[in-house]
Amino acid sequence: MSTTDSVLISISQIITSDIIYPMRPQATPKQVAWFGRGVSLIVSALALILGLTWRGSIIKLFELGTPIAMNLIPPYMIGLFMKHRPHPWSLAIPTIAAIVAAILIIALH
């Protein structure tokens, strides 16, 4: 549960602060907070749907979650240690592609 919670929070934080906020720097902190809540709600709903409709073993579900969590490390580290922010889409596109690839590989295997 702790790992899942951490991944959900990380996804919301990465999308909100590293992708959306640089695209809309004029957004107020209140708008950014509400957007973060919306992203958290969407990600949580997708995780709930996946968990409720999953017909495989719990091991397979863990095998799906681990690559998704690992795909969040590069944008997190880039955002943490880079002095200049990269363009938001240079973080978003590879991360989304890697997560979709991990889901397809596990689902089709």
How large is the average pLDDT for residues 15-22? Answer: 79
Residue 88: partners with Cβ closer than 8 Å, 6 or more residues away: 18, 19, 20, 22, 23
Task: Read off the pLDDT band of 3 (50, 70, 90).
Answer: low
Residue type, 100: V
The pLDDT assigned to 107 comes to: 72
DSSP class of residue 19? I
How far is it, in rounded angstroms, from Cα 88 to Cα 21? 9
Q: Is residue 27 classed exposed, middle or buried when 0-12, 13-18 and 19+ CB atoms within 10 A define those classes?
A: middle
* pLDDT > 70? residue 87: yes
pTM above 0.85, yes or no: no
The pLDDT assigned to 51 comes to: 75
The pLDDT assigned to 5 comes to: 72
- The tens digit of pLDDT for each residue in 31-86 reads 888 888 888 888 888 878 877 887 777 777 677 677 777 777 777 777 777 777 77
